[in-house]
Structure 1
Amino acid sequence: MTFSVANSGANASQRRKVMVVAEPTRESAAALHYVLSHVIFENDILYLLHVENPTFWMNRISYFMKQASMSTHTNAAGESGGSNDGVGGGCIGGNIDFLEHMKNACELVQPKLKVKALKIESEARDKGYVIISQTKMLEIDLLVVGKRQSLANAILRQRKNGLMIRGDTAEYLLEHSECTCVAVQRKGQTGGYLLHTKTHRNFWLLA
């Protein structure tokens, strides 16, 4: 069974613009897997959008540099396999090149699919606002985002005077996106997906 809201009644002869919010997380990988296996057609255009706060990464890199410096002074100069390996490219490098890995994975699964990887640097605290601005500018038909359900997110979805107080990016996009938006939760490796839209919640889809 196909989620009709996600497909928007499209067929293989119609070209659509589909955007996936790309992050180095399991939730984002699940959203991309859902799109490739249930939504996208080879004549569609797939956008992988990553919104990055450069100030955040400057602070993160500075922190790791300090940790590496402390480790260097603590360990003997001749030791191998010290803590530098734990500080190095695993976190920083992974966040720098993960977007290209996602793009390559899409092209491997669907070689004829047109994939565009976009990285936007923004100082804005509201990542959701930046994403929605991009969907409007690129005239996106369908926006897909990975979603992590937690007690904190449920609490943060409380409303005040009809407005969202604060919530995760997925909830913000579901509430404010002008194009069709689907938030995806993966239920185990073979358990399927829980899909959410602004008007439909917890729609179950088998993998």
Structure 2
Amino acid sequence: MVIADPGRESAGALEWALYHAVLEHDEIILLHAEPPNARRGALSTFLRRPSSVAPSSPAGSAAGSAECGGDYEFLDAMRAACKAAQPKVKVQIERVETEAKDKTTTILMQANLLRVDLLVIGQRRTQSTFLG
């Protein structure tokens, strides 16, 4: 499982996973944890996601990223990167809503629920963390 966000840290984590941890017939789960108000306005939520599809279901997640337009283009780009680097790997997109203070707990609960073997998370680095 790779935590998916639109930042370069997440892209770096995915790249590392693809070239160092994923085998030919593995499955990659791209998990995007978003705040409950990530979709602005009731009308846009109604138009973007069918009410019969839950955001964390595999079918809803995979189709949902394309339906949501620009908000989730990074998920489609990450899926494409997976397919380009590892064509035989199955890619699943999961989206879950979480409060900012509960993000870690939500990620760990999803990892346990989906029975993942490896959790890869990108890290922001500051200049002081580089050895020189």
Pairwise same-fold verdict (TM > 0.5): yes
Query: What is the aligned-residue RMSD (CA, Å)?
Result: 2.7
* Residue 125, structure 1, aligned to residue 101, structure 2: yes
SS at match of 1:119: strand
Aligned length: 105
The 3 A distance-change label for structure 1 pair 98 and 111 is: same
TM-score calculated relative to the size of structure 2: 0.68
Larger Rg: 1
Contact 1:55–1:123, Cα closer than 8 Å, also in 2: no
Give the AA of the match of 1:133: M
* Residue 116, structure 1, aligned to residue 92, structure 2: yes
| Cα deviation digits, residues 94-126 of structure 1 (max 9, x gap) | 432211221122112211101111111234632
The 3 A distance-change label for structure 1 pair 25 and 124 is: closer
**Aligned partners of 2:117, 2:96: CA distance in 1, in Å?**
20
- The aligned residue for residue 102 of structure 1 is 78
SS at match of 1:55: coil
In structure 1, stretches of 5+ residues that fail to align are 1-18, 60-91, 155-186, 188-201, 203-207
SS at match of 1:131: helix
- The aligned residue for residue 52 of structure 2 is none
- The aligned residue for residue 46 of structure 1 is 28
Deviation >6 Å, runs of 4+: none
**Aligned partners of 1:43, 1:53: CA distance in 2, in Å?**
32
- The aligned residue for residue 116 of structure 2 is 140
- The aligned residue for residue 19 of structure 2 is 37
TM-score calculated relative to the size of structure 1: 0.45
Larger RCO (CA within 8 A; separation ≥ 6): 2
Contact 1:24–1:95, Cα closer than 8 Å, also in 2: no
Q: What does 1:111-190 align with in structure 2 at a 5 Å threshold?
A: 111-123=87-99, 125-150=101-126
Q: What does 1:83-102 align with in structure 2 at a 5 Å threshold?
A: 94-102=70-78
**Aligned partners of 1:56, 1:110: CA distance in 2, in Å?**
31
